[in-house]
Structure 1
Amino acid sequence: MSRPAVEFWFEFASTYSYLSVMRIEKAAATAGVEVQWRPFLLGPVFLALGWNDSPFNIYPPKGRYMWRDLERLAAKEGLPFRHPSRFPRNGLLAARVALVGAQEGWVAPFARAVMTANFAEDREITDETVIAGILGDMGLAAAGVIARAQEDANKRALRVQTELAAELGLFGAPSFRVGDELFWGNDRLDDALAWACRP
């Protein structure tokens, strides 16, 4: 009998995705739930909603609250945090590489390393040398992985996955899906896992 599963939709530029990426594997293992990693891009989703930037930038009071909230939550989880000098950073290359990682079985450690680079070390995850360094630290052949990530078929797969996110009604990240049930936000991770395990 297969284990229950949760789809984990995340974005490398997303602050609250940082928290979920760092804790989902342990939480899911404890719950006995399989994680299906779904990297996607929030930019096209936001544009479809009429936003040309992160809502945390569009609405400054919301942004100020979010950064303080993130500091509190990171401290609670024992995670390092440094306010990025640029927000949001473009996560396109990282998402393409993560899609390859999801197929090859190393997406989780890669996602954690990229999120750490962005939200704990204030490094430019848009920079191919940063991504290559992360892959190298993981013992992967960085040039080959990045070449596969930049192939037309993989680029198209990420576009399709992002379009699917919009079709499914996702409007932010992180989001979790269990069947047709949608849970939005880092604070709904445990609820999603519980729903996956319900009788």
Structure 2
Amino acid sequence: MISKVEFHFDFGSPNAYLCHRVLPDISSRTQTEIRYVPILLGGIFKATNNRSPMEQYANVRNKKEYLAEETQRFLLRHNITDFKRNPHFPVNTLMAMRGAVFAMKNSWAQTYTDIMYQAMWEEERNIANLETFRSILENADLPALEIIEACNDPEIKKSLIESSMNSVERGNFGSPTFFAGNAMFFGKDSLEDFERQLISQATAV
């Protein structure tokens, strides 16, 4: 049996959003619960001396064009029709990820995760803006004031930092990242291998 299956995510990653759209099917097919773990991508980049693909490949000829084609193939393969490039990208997700830490302690965690990903990658909204953030929460009937207050709670701040650094210690350097037991998988291109690992470990005696 798999002791721990996790998705380490940040709302700021478009590839993490795409994985978020596919994970429910993987969870259903493998009969595996996938735990969402909030991390702060900027902190992980700093700790690992990594950079976003946008920065890494800014001056690499043909690379951005290929990545766009690869993303389009992924969208078609998984019938994702509502993905949009956010005009505010890159967006500071600190507040939203602190909110995610708080959300994971409550029964509405899935709703929070869904609406933040939707706002960021379907509705083209700037989730770093406090009023926009509040509006997203209120429209979903979530406790906006309580969540916003939690974003300033020292324990929530500490928890997000610790979660990010623990992720780095386990081998992570970005998002989307998945763990199946001790095995780590990075990127949306690893989803098939991740699913095979879940099947293999679930059937092991």
TM range (shorter): 0.7 to 0.9
- Decide which of 188, 191, 195 is 1:189's aligned counterpart: 191
What secondary structure, in the 3-state scheme, does the structure 2 residue paired with 1:48 have?
Answer: helix
Q: Distance in 1 between matches of 2:2 and 2:103?
A: 21
- Contact persistence 1:56–1:66 (CA under 8 A): no
The residue that corresponds to 1:31 in the other structure is 30
Closer, same or farther in 2 for the Cα pair 1:67/1:133, shift >3 Å? farther
2-structure distance, mates of 1:129, 1:157: 24
- Aligned residues of 2:2 and 2:181 also touching (Cα < 8 A): no
Alignment map for 1:12-91 (pairs within 5 Å)? 12-51=11-50, 53-60=51-58, 61=60, 62-79=63-80, 80-91=82-93
Task: Structure 2 unaligned segments of length 5 or more: list them.
Answer: none
Q: Does 1:8 align with 2:7?
A: yes
Displacement over 4 Å in runs of 4+:
2-5
The change in CA–CA distance for 1:86 and 1:64 in structure 2 (over 3 A counts) is farther
State how many pairs are aligned. 197
Tell me how large the CA RMSD over aligned residues is.
2.1
Does 173-182 or 64-73 show the bigger shift? 64-73
Q: What CA distance in whole angstroms lies between the structure 1 residues aligned with 2:103 and 2:125?
A: 21
Q: Percent identity?
A: 27
- Indicate if the aligned counterparts of 2:178 and 2:186 stay in contact, CA closer than 8 A: yes
Q: Is residue 121 of structure 2 the alignment partner of residue 129 of structure 1?
A: no
Letter in 2 for 1:32: Q
Aligned to 2:174: 172
Structure of higher RCO (CA pairs closer than 8 Å, 6+ residues apart): 2
- 1:93 corresponds in structure 2 to 95
Given that residues 91 and 125 in structure 1 are in contact (C-alpha distance below 8 angstroms), is that contact kept between their aligned partners in structure 2?
A: yes
User: How many Å apart are 1:166 and its aligned residue?
Assistant: 1.1
Pair 1:14–1:69, CA change in 2 (3 A): same
- 8 Å Cα contact 1:13-1:91 kept in structure 2: yes
Judged with a 3 Å threshold, the aligned counterparts in structure 2 of structure 1 residues 66 and 115 are, in CA distance, closer, same or farther, namely: farther
Where structure 1 has 5 or more consecutive residues not aligned to the other structure, the ranges are none
Greater Rg over alpha carbons, structure: 2
**Structure 2 CA distance for aligned equivalents of residues 33 and 133 of structure 1:** 33
Q: Tell whether the 8 Å contact from 1:4 to 1:33 is kept in structure 2 after alignment.
A: no
TM-score normalised over the length of structure 2: 0.85
Q: Deviations over 1:97-131 (max 9, x none)?
A: 11111111323332222122222222101112222
For residues 106 and 195 of structure 1, the distance between their equivalents in structure 2, rounded to whole angstroms, comes to 29
1:4 CA drift (Å): 6.4
* Corresponding residue to 2:145 among 143, 146, 149: 143
Q: CA deviation at 1:19?
A: 0.4
Displacement of 1:5 after TM fit?
Answer: 4.6
Counterpart residue identity of residue 38, structure 1: V
